[in-house]
């Protein structure tokens, strides 16, 4: 019984030390060249240079005129995207690595709801990326501009 308690205590101590070591490394003075965009920084404004890669899909005419999460009407002809965490108004350069085509879009909606995707783009953005036929592609995202503060 005592050896089981000792083993549990040692395991807990090891995990605590490992976690503090990881946290110390994460908060060290040397910052990475690019900061990944993820749920861990949800709600925080992403700085220019933040990157992410993963699957994106497109949505089009079926949703035209519907209200987006930002409150504006969805326009399939505008260069916009839905993203789970980036603030509305953030400008993102999306690149299709298979054909090297890229487009800069503005975040104006939340999504996608599929856990394996990092974003949804408008029809116009999908056309520029050369992804209309495939529907879903692997893409690279880079924040190129942060959301503008609204003037009062």
Length of the chain, please?
152
* φ, ψ dihedrals at 149, nearest 5°: -70, 135
pLDDT tens column, 85-125: 999 999 999 999 999 999 999 999 999 989 999 999 999 99
Q: How far is CA 76 from CA 52, 81, 104, 126, 128, in A?
A: 23, 10, 15, 10, 13
pLDDT tens column, 15-40: 333 333 333 333 333 333 344 444 43
Q: Residue 138 pLDDT more than 70?
A: yes
Closest by CA position to 141, among listed 69, 43, 39, 34: 34
pLDDT above 90 covers what percent of the chain?
Answer: 61
């Amino acid at each position: 019984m005592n050896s089981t308690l000792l083993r549990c205590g040692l395991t807990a101590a090891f995990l605590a030390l490992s976690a503090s070591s990881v946290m110390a490394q994460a908060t060290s003075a040397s910052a990475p060249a690019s900061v990944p965009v993820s749920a861990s920084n949800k709600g925080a404004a992403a700085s220019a240079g933040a990157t992410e890669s993963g699957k994106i899909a497109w949505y089009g005419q079926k949703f035209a005129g519907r209200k987006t999460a930002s409150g504006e009407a969805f326009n399939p002809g505008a260069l916009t995207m839905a993203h789970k965490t980036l603030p509305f108004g953030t400008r993102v350069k999306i690149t299709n690595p298979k054909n090297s085509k890229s487009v800069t879009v503005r975040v104006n909606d939340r999504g996608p709801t599929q856990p394996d995707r990092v974003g949804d783009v408008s029809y116009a953005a999908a056309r520029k990326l050369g992804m209309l036929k495939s529907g879903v592609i692997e893409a690279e995202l880079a924040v190129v501009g942060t959301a503008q503060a609204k003037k009062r």
